[in-house]
Structure 1
């Protein structure tokens, strides 16, 4: 079995250097490492030219002209030759046994199409060390349970994976690509969710094993899709991507339930109607209402695309 590691990168030279050094230390070395970069990303090209960073890695630098993570991932898939393609972010450092565990899992289960694992998040000088059994599921209501960064327990089937740590069997994705309809100028939020759900709908097993682990050092994002300071446009884009994915891959009855749950209840990130109503007497009421309007606009625009 040949293993390809795919790493899209944009203007994070120090993070990418850490990632590539972690890949050099793998117990089971990669057969191919594909790093996708933009032509004007000179700092990243400089890092890739340093022998101390790339070492003996079987590295291939792929140039992508188009903006956004989806274009980079899709071009990276086209250039990947492995039987299994392991995807991680440039701000992650896979554990030494990462590829070894990935290879063992795919070799043991012929119907395994996708495998994800825990990303140990290092944020603001501390490690987020919680414990969650419930990971990577979509409830009947359409509510999403993530928790990939907190998962404990054994390997199990899930509904969706997280982009920083996900691997795919080539046979499962030979005619599947990341959705180019997704909005955003950078991260294009929920691209990982859409891709893994599509693999599962095709009949392959999608599994999560917290022992297949990476350390994750969330770096600032380039573009409008910021992590902690979301604008109205970024909320609208993310809500559009979320609803486009749910409407595309959920069965009809669950899709209807999901639409009403997100319309009426929602979450803090994508508020439903209850949130601005409860915030009428709150000091941050205006902010909640702005988030609600942006989230509903994205949802309605997604509904026009997938009636």
Structure 2
């Protein structure tokens, strides 16, 4: 059976981290290594992790900078196994999580990444349920489809994995790092989209299997980017990251179409023209502020990309390695 390491970035969520590590103790296929990456000032998380030292092959990696990108990039060099499974501290992997991940990688040597469903638990105790066949896709006309928390059906190839439930083959991500150009002090949204697309561009397959599951208890973020709450800086950062990732990782017509989609359509949080006009028609009092913040983020990303293009061709991030 394939050996797996587990990587868990954590920051000031000791109760969530305890639940996550308890779930890792109950895996049918035990990990050979569990890496908890925590800020050096986060004493409570260190204490929780240390309490599991006798039950898990635990390593604590300290970081002194904020952001999940820095945490993941700092933790990756410590990975020992051929497969690294990544989850968040506010998730509890199902007991067969690692065993199912390993089975996929063993079944097909062309698979570079595996992810699955995150069952979202709301504060009132209910579980978000639903059924979506389309998951983790970048459609030809530029729209990004997530739905990882609602996916049903058989395992299938996708374009994007979700950060709370994703795993990668070391050889597939050799030399790759999560993009440090992404903006934000905490979540740095869309970081997993960039990494997934970089692995896929190398010719590896990314698989989504709803049976590869974690329970997800979305916890408050430790910055101004709070779920469901508008903050202009958070919206600007998210729009920047979306534009930056797609324009550096997609190629040809898909890159152009994604840019047009974001400018003309966007989504409810990073509004393009169409979402903005819809919000105006519904008398949304935040419509103008949301649109302006998203527009600033997109324009900043495009400006920086133009500067990059003026000195060199857009880099082939992740290279062009193909899998036989």
Alpha-carbon displacement from aligned partner over 1:250-275 (angstroms, at most 9, x marks no partner): 12212222222221122111111123
Deviation at 1:281, TM superposition (A): 5.1
1:214 matched to 2:245? The reply is no
Calculate the TM-score normalised by the size of structure 1. Answer: 0.96
- CA pair 238-280 structure 1, distance change in 2 beyond 3 A: closer
Q: Hey, what does 1:38 align to over in structure 2?
A: 39
Would you say the 8 A contact 2:179–2:191 is kept in 1? Answer: yes
* Partner secondary structure for residue 258 of structure 1: helix
Q: Hey, what does 2:120 align to over in structure 1?
A: 121
RMSD: 1.2
Would you say the 8 A contact 1:142–1:246 is kept in 2? Answer: no
Q: Hey, what does 1:109 align to over in structure 2?
A: 108
* Partner secondary structure for residue 220 of structure 1: coil
* Partner secondary structure for residue 166 of structure 1: strand
Deviation at 1:141, TM superposition (A): 1.7
Would you say the 8 A contact 2:10–2:37 is kept in 1? Answer: yes
- CA pair 21-281 structure 1, distance change in 2 beyond 3 A: closer
Alpha-carbon displacement from aligned partner over 1:225-283 (angstroms, at most 9, x marks no partner): 21111300000001100000010111221222222222112211111112333444543
* Matched pairs, number: 304
Q: Hey, what does 1:270 align to over in structure 2?
A: 270
Gaps of 5+ in 2: 307-324
Distance 2:278 2:133 in 1: 31
- CA pair 163-280 structure 1, distance change in 2 beyond 3 A: closer
1:252 matched to 2:252? The reply is yes
* Partner secondary structure for residue 153 of structure 1: coil
- CA pair 90-279 structure 1, distance change in 2 beyond 3 A: closer
Would you say the 8 A contact 1:20–1:54 is kept in 2? Answer: no
* Partner secondary structure for residue 225 of structure 1: coil
Farther off after superposition, 261-270 or 139-148: 261-270
1:189 matched to 2:189? The reply is yes
Would you say the 8 A contact 2:118–2:164 is kept in 1? Answer: yes
Would you say the 8 A contact 1:232–1:291 is kept in 2? Answer: yes
* Partner secondary structure for residue 20 of structure 2: helix
Q: Hey, what does 1:171 align to over in structure 2?
A: 171
Would you say the 8 A contact 1:184–1:224 is kept in 2? Answer: no
* Partner secondary structure for residue 233 of structure 1: helix
* Partner secondary structure for residue 292 of structure 1: helix
Deviation at 1:289, TM superposition (A): 1.1
Calculate the TM-score normalised by the size of structure 2. Answer: 0.91
Distance 1:150 1:275 in 2: 23
* Partner secondary structure for residue 297 of structure 1: helix
Q: Hey, what does 1:29 align to over in structure 2?
A: 30
Would you say the 8 A contact 1:118–1:211 is kept in 2? Answer: yes
* Partner secondary structure for residue 194 of structure 1: helix
Distance 2:233 2:281 in 1: 25
What does 1:1-307 align with in structure 2 at a 5 Å threshold? Answer: 1-50=2-51, 53-124=52-123, 125-280=125-280, 282-284=282-284, 286-307=285-306
Distance 1:296 1:30 in 2: 44
Deviation at 1:48, TM superposition (A): 1.9
Distance 1:274 1:152 in 2: 30
Would you say the 8 A contact 2:142–2:260 is kept in 1? Answer: no
Distance 2:6 2:128 in 1: 26
